[in-house]
Structure 1
Amino acid sequence: MTDHTLLPPADRAAPSPAAPAPTGRAPAVLVVGEALADVLDTPDGRRAHPGGSPANTALGLARLGHQAHLATRLGDDAYGSMIRDHLARDGVTLTPDAVGDRPTSTATAVLDDEGRATYTFDIFWDLSPTVTELIGEQSFEHLHAGSVAALLEPGAARVLALVRGAPTAATISYDPNLRPALLAAPGRERPRVERLVALSDVVKVSDEDLDWLYPGEDAQEIAAAWARRGPALVVLTRGTLGASAHWRHGRHDVAAAPVEVADTIGAGDAFMSGLISGLLEGGLLGAGRFGLVGATSTEQPSPALVAALERAARTAALTCARHGADPPTRAELAAFDL
């Protein structure tokens, strides 16, 4: 097995033991990454829906009742207007200068017989320079980054700057959500992914991501190695096989919630939003990340960690039960009967 030595997060300070305690208000979450138009080709014709992995995650968090802010870039066009309206309806706040001169990016999805999507992209990713000032001006207790935005230049450098510049009392999550059609060879991308893994407290990664990034290696072993050498928690999603959470001292598996699948578009993003939501409400994120450290300090998972993983699985399942990236609301999640 390859020695998966992660780049040390030496450029991000450790949290102070004197970090402030939670205030009782809902923590603010900053999601950074692409928002784009998902164009879906079906036997009934072509339809366009708002999409983009980070945008879907921000939407899922807002629907679950969290203060969700999205640092992204959209065009001043019909697709951009559609996405802005869609996010605003559910309370996602876009950061300043989100609208730029270039057209809104698109991802065209084609579904196979099992509802799985493959994509072709027309995307340019950048981020306004003013976004890097947000960390100093506003109080975000959790930062989430990932997908195309974390690796596609010129915007990837600003995403990395945001992650590095996050307050020491804030927690960070990362979802590689790799799109090989837009990337270099795995050997070129691996160090950049591992750098972001090392800077994160929580990583969610799919078995497909790891199969591409580390050809021929066991995804569970890689996830466990990441957890030993970097983040406090690494969650490996495996589609219908559920998910496996790894931390330095243990592992916990969670089954996929049974539903009749319409398609899997946005399922991973919904899992991510459900996981962040559950960890936040369990007191495991924000406020210096000491809750997460405590929850992963023994071989057995804490009840709060198990509850967060189950919330993530249920959130993903409800998204699979309907077409497109349409994550559930808090009320829908509460009504879901496993």
Structure 2
Amino acid sequence: MILCAGESLIDMVPEDGAFRPLAGGAVYNTTVALGRLGEPTAYLWPISRDPFGEILLRPLIEAGVNTDLCPRSDRLTTLALVTLTGGEARYSFYDEGSAGRMLSQNDIPELPGDVQAIFAGGISLVPDPCGGAIESLIQRNHHRLPVMLDPNIRPFFITDPDSYRARLNRLLPMADIVKLSADDFEWLFPALDLADAARKVLQMGPRIVLQTGGAAGAHAYWAGETVNAPAVRVTVADTIGAGDTFNAGVLASLRRQGVLSKDGIAGITADQLRSALTLGAQAAAVTVSRAGANPPWASEMPA
């Protein structure tokens, strides 16, 4: 079972001059995508008892995600107002004192024995106490479980860049797989080109660094020659949830290939990496072809 730990929120998406509430959040989207792809998945994040919390629970349950590790909270759900510019999503967050924001290290449980990997990232890594809680989860378990990390950096959400960089400098060496977009690399290493920035991250300890670039496809940097997979050409409705769905496709492929373990990732081959990138790109293509973060079900994927 793949455990996803990180934010869920409500995306207030523009529609006919108003806003439509849709379940979202980077880690949440990856969780739902994994469940829809038929992968055994669990979620760890507080869910509010407010009406928005019910909106968040429904897709998790429909996708078959285990929510036993999701404490219910009387605090409010995080809201993200979405604006679209040329199909690209931009966000404004309403998060102070929210259910997820107040997750603490004391709320992190011992993990069930059937958890075989951890996925984390998103804005849940930025503020405390929730950032410290996710860091604690990874610190406690990374020696025995493979960790995939996608910081999904949102500069406008980061009020203390130095503190956030320090957290990433602690987390990246504990991750086995790190996924970064071109924008993420630009924020982390503005003086380096993408390839050099990816190698810089590799030097910090991860086995694999994945770089996504929309229509430019995806690239995997690792101990061997760089592995590439082209983007799947579709008519783009918007890009909400694209990278999150890509993450789910990668994790699903690695698990299906039997390499989602510490030893499996250490011994991965170029063909296995290419298969993972390809499934990630195929899944992301479905998501961008329709409005909002609406990842594909297994039946919608190529045979």
Give the TM-score, by structure 2 length: 0.93
1:70 and 2:43 equivalent?
A: yes
Matches within 5 A, 1:72-221: 72-96=45-69, 98-112=71-85, 114-123=86-95, 124=98, 125-127=101-103, 131-135=107-111, 137-166=112-141, 168-184=143-159, 186-221=161-196
How far apart are 1:293 and its partner, in Å? 1.1
Q: CA RMSD in A?
A: 1.7
- Picking from 236, 243, 255, the partner of 2:230 is 255
How far apart are 1:199 and its partner, in Å? 0.3
Partner of 2:253: 278
C-alpha distance in 2 between matches for 1:58 and 1:169? 21
1:235 partner SS: strand
Q: Which amino acid aligns with 1:294?
A: G
Q: Which amino acid aligns with 2:28?
A: A
C-alpha distance in 2 between matches for 1:305 and 1:252? 7
C-alpha distance in 2 between matches for 1:93 and 1:267? 23
1:48 and 2:24 equivalent?
A: no
Aligned sequence identity (%): 32
Do 1:96 and 1:131's aligned partners in 2 also have CA atoms closer than 8 Å? no
Give deviations 1:261-281, integer Å, cap 9, x for gaps.
Answer: 000000010011111111111
Q: Which amino acid aligns with 2:109?
A: E
1:241 and 2:240 equivalent?
A: no
C-alpha distance in 1 between matches for 2:37 and 2:70? 26
The alpha-carbon distance between structure 1 residues 131 and 282, as it changes in their structure 2 partners (threshold 3 A), is farther
Partner of 1:59: 32
C-alpha distance in 1 between matches for 2:67 and 2:39? 14
C-alpha distance in 2 between matches for 1:58 and 1:96? 13
Do 2:12 and 2:79's aligned partners in 1 also have CA atoms closer than 8 Å? yes
1:334 partner SS: coil
Do 1:61 and 1:68's aligned partners in 2 also have CA atoms closer than 8 Å? yes
The alpha-carbon distance between structure 1 residues 157 and 129, as it changes in their structure 2 partners (threshold 3 A), is closer
The alpha-carbon distance between structure 1 residues 331 and 244, as it changes in their structure 2 partners (threshold 3 A), is same
C-alpha distance in 2 between matches for 1:100 and 1:258? 42
1:70 partner SS: strand
Do 1:244 and 1:254's aligned partners in 2 also have CA atoms closer than 8 Å? yes
How far apart are 1:186 and its partner, in Å? 4.1
The alpha-carbon distance between structure 1 residues 195 and 262, as it changes in their structure 2 partners (threshold 3 A), is same
Q: Which has the larger radius of gyration?
A: 1
The alpha-carbon distance between structure 1 residues 106 and 84, as it changes in their structure 2 partners (threshold 3 A), is same
Give deviations 1:90-132, integer Å, cap 9, x for gaps.
Answer: 11122345221210011111111x2110000011413265642
1:161 partner SS: helix
Q: Name stretches of at least 5 consecutive residues in structure 2 with no aligned partner.
A: none
1:31 and 2:4 equivalent?
A: yes
User: How many pairs align?
Assistant: 299
Partner of 2:285: 317
Give deviations 1:228-272, integer Å, cap 9, x for gaps.
Answer: 331111001111111111003321121111000000000010011
C-alpha distance in 1 between matches for 2:144 and 2:163? 32
Do 1:36 and 1:74's aligned partners in 2 also have CA atoms closer than 8 Å? no
The alpha-carbon distance between structure 1 residues 248 and 187, as it changes in their structure 2 partners (threshold 3 A), is farther
Do 1:34 and 1:54's aligned partners in 2 also have CA atoms closer than 8 Å? yes
C-alpha distance in 2 between matches for 1:319 and 1:245? 21
How far apart are 1:294 and its partner, in Å? 1.2
Q: Which range moved further: 322-331 or 217-226?
A: 217-226
The alpha-carbon distance between structure 1 residues 97 and 243, as it changes in their structure 2 partners (threshold 3 A), is closer
Q: Which amino acid aligns with 1:103?
A: L
The alpha-carbon distance between structure 1 residues 293 and 74, as it changes in their structure 2 partners (threshold 3 A), is same
C-alpha distance in 2 between matches for 1:244 and 1:234? 8
The alpha-carbon distance between structure 1 residues 184 and 213, as it changes in their structure 2 partners (threshold 3 A), is farther
Q: Which amino acid aligns with 2:272?
A: A
Do 1:42 and 1:110's aligned partners in 2 also have CA atoms closer than 8 Å? no
Q: Name stretches of at least 5 consecutive residues in structure 1 with no aligned partner.
A: 1-27
C-alpha distance in 2 between matches for 1:63 and 1:224? 33
2:83 partner SS: strand
1:332 and 2:300 equivalent?
A: yes
